[in-house]
Structure 1
Amino acid sequence: MLVFVIGKDFGAIVSYPFALQHPEKVAGIITIGLPFMPPGAFTNQFVLPEGFYPRRWQEPGRAEADFGRFDVKTVVRNIYILFSQSELQIADENQEIMDLVKPSTPLPSWFTEEDIEIYAASFEKSGFRTALQVPYRTLNTVGSEVQDPKVEVPTIVIMGEEEYLLKIPGMGEYTRSGEVKKYVPKKETIYVPHGSHFLPEQFPDKVNELTLNFLNQNKHLLLV
């Protein structure tokens, strides 16, 4: 049976290796916020600044101690405030990631107090352990066993024009140039004006439209 694989953000790091390892099962791929990353990219190709949150959260116990100073709703609130911005948020040497948000900073207009209640209720039950383990503490292990990776199926990458990940040194050039097509030759990238890191929450109708268009255009592949 063929399927379409859809992954948001670091879900892309799972989606593409699945297609590489099981090409007979994948008709197409949609990723939101992140294109294909070659194995070891975040070590060899894109060097993350020391105070950038993936580096900090890779350290066992550091995020747990940082988050533990606040209730779950405050952690969720801070994350949405921080990562809806268009610039990289870098902590100083003696500063933690949660300290980057001032308590008076308002939520983005498209994220509500009700949203926080729903998200926080989920993390109240599960905690943040899995969210920290995957992807941050397994960042360069997924797909590392694939040699000479190439994804041959139709692929669409949906990104916000104001996605802060594009400010990672080398990432913007990699994404906008033809380099990524060495690995995903049938890739198309669509940039959503004013879009942030949280496209599905910010522009759900647009993301749904682009997703459904891609599925409809490629549904014939399910019959191959």
Structure 2
Amino acid sequence: MEGIEHRTLKVNGINMHVAEKGNGPVILFIHGFPELWYCWRHQILALSSLGYRAIAPDLRGYGDTDAPESVSSYTCFNLVGDLIGLLDAVAADQEKVFVVGHDWGASIGWYLCLFRPDKVKAYVSLSVPFRRINPATRVKPVDSLRAIFGEDYYMCRFQEQGEIEAEFAQIGIEEIMKEFLTYKLPDALRFPKGTKPFGHPRESPVLLPPWLSEKDIQYYASKFEKTGFTGAVNYYRNLNRNYELLVPWTGSQIKVPVKFVTGDQDLVYHMPGLKEYIHSEGGLKKDVPLLEEVVVMEGVAHFINQEKAEEINTHIFNFFQKFI
């Protein structure tokens, strides 16, 4: 990762580690689960060489950034507050920045656009679309997921404090990272209690795809060995709390230019009703009126920015160049 600089900054009451490279308009990269700044390594190198300043933090609870103990310290307000503090510290000279988010990072990117559109020039969301805020259903997210997918669904299994962390530790952090990052089934991810997770026998080795090396796995594993998974899964433990906090934004639209990119094998893309929402005129386009393009990449699964790094770099560059 030649030329990538690392530093730790005090933002929003925590110490946040950030990787950065380049000069020019800032692109803020927001990682997902279970990732780190490192998942953006290809984008940092490519976009910095094309005249941008790439900034990729470890989010709270991850890597070399602080991990507050309280579950309630991981709400959408905390996460966006961290990013605002980061931008104030590293990009005070820029009124607005470009933003790219993947997985949980995509959700946080949507929150940033919703709460502080004055900070965002344009947004590229990978994998996770904006979801209409509609508490009128009165069904909280975890309850809805449990009703649709059952108690074994991974987001439901993440709710009990300490439980999934113990299971992951028993399996082994390196093995867990391999399993997550190579998961390619579009089906719902389940972790039934008392059985092997990820749908295949533990004895069978996990074969790494060409875009993922043993060195990559070891880097991820080294950080999660140090922090554990509690901070990361605490994001999921705030799904219902976020639902309540977002009530004031009921019916709100995203008012920044957006490009959405996903893979046709992404498990998120195959969640019930999501394809219809993404592609219908009364769905995503209605809630994100400045949505310029939806791209569905063939044969690509969830970790799209790593699996198809060059193509994603091109999508990001071509879109952001419109606003220079």
Q: Distance in 2 between matches of 1:123 and 1:153?
A: 34
Aligned equivalent of 2:253, options 138, 150, 156? 150
Q: TM-score, normalised by structure 1?
A: 0.86
The aligned residue for residue 320 of structure 2 is 215
Q: Distance in 1 between matches of 2:189 and 2:194?
A: 12
The aligned residue for residue 162 of structure 1 is 265
The aligned residue for residue 73 of structure 2 is none
Give the counterpart letter for 2:263 in structure 1: G
Please state how far the C-alpha of 1:74 moved relative to its aligned partner: 1.3
Q: Is 1:124 the equivalent of 2:228?
A: no
Residues 95-120 of structure 1, C-alpha deviations (whole Å, 9 max, x = no match): 45736342314334132222111110
Residues 55-87 of structure 1, C-alpha deviations (whole Å, 9 max, x = no match): 111222221121121221111112223x32222
Q: Conserved in 2, the CA contact under 8 Å of 1:78 and 1:101?
A: no
Q: Distance in 2 between matches of 1:124 and 1:155?
A: 36
Q: How does 1:44-193 map to 2 (within 5 A)?
A: 48-50=148-150, 51-81=152-182, 83-92=183-192, 94-95=193-194, 98=197, 100-103=199-202, 104-109=204-209, 110-134=211-235, 136-142=236-242, 144=246, 145-178=248-281, 179-187=283-291, 188-193=293-298
Q: Distance in 2 between matches of 1:48 and 1:8?
A: 24
Q: Is 1:6 the equivalent of 2:100?
A: yes
Q: Cα gap change, 1:117/1:180 in structure 2, threshold over 3 Å: closer, same or farther?
A: same
Q: Distance in 2 between matches of 1:97 and 1:42?
A: 26
Give the counterpart letter for 1:126 in structure 2: T
Q: Cα gap change, 1:68/1:173 in structure 2, threshold over 3 Å: closer, same or farther?
A: same
Q: Distance in 2 between matches of 1:151 and 1:159?
A: 19
Report % sequence identity.
26
Q: Distance in 2 between matches of 1:96 and 1:13?
A: 30
Give the counterpart letter for 1:130 in structure 2: G
Q: Cα gap change, 1:63/1:44 in structure 2, threshold over 3 Å: closer, same or farther?
A: closer
Residues 13-68 of structure 1, C-alpha deviations (whole Å, 9 max, x = no match): 21112112212221111111111012368458776512221111122222112112
Q: Distance in 2 between matches of 1:97 and 1:189?
A: 36
Q: For structure 1, which segment, 83-92 or 4-13, has the greater mean C-alpha deviation from structure 2 after superposition?
A: 83-92
Structure 1 unmatched runs, 5+? 220-224
Give secondary structure in 1 for the equivalent of 2:289.
coil
Q: For structure 1, which segment, 195-204 or 4-13, has the greater mean C-alpha deviation from structure 2 after superposition?
A: 4-13
Q: For structure 1, which segment, 103-112 or 121-130, has the greater mean C-alpha deviation from structure 2 after superposition?
A: 103-112
Q: Is 1:26 the equivalent of 2:131?
A: no
Q: Conserved in 2, the CA contact under 8 Å of 1:8 and 1:32?
A: yes
Q: CA RMSD for the aligned pairs?
A: 2.3
Give secondary structure in 2 for the equivalent of 1:102.
coil
Q: Distance in 1 between matches of 2:124 and 2:143?
A: 25
Q: For structure 1, which segment, 33-42 or 199-208, has the greater mean C-alpha deviation from structure 2 after superposition?
A: 33-42
Give secondary structure in 1 for the equivalent of 2:261.
strand
Structure 2 unmatched runs, 5+? 1-94
Q: Is 1:206 the equivalent of 2:282?
A: no
Please state how far the C-alpha of 1:215 moved relative to its aligned partner: 0.8
Q: Distance in 1 between matches of 2:295 and 2:198?
A: 33
Give the counterpart letter for 1:214 in structure 2: F
More strand by share: 2
Aligned equivalent of 1:16, options 91, 107, 110? 110
Q: Cα gap change, 1:37/1:45 in structure 2, threshold over 3 Å: closer, same or farther?
A: farther
Matched pairs, number: 216
Q: Distance in 1 between matches of 2:321 and 2:196?
A: 41
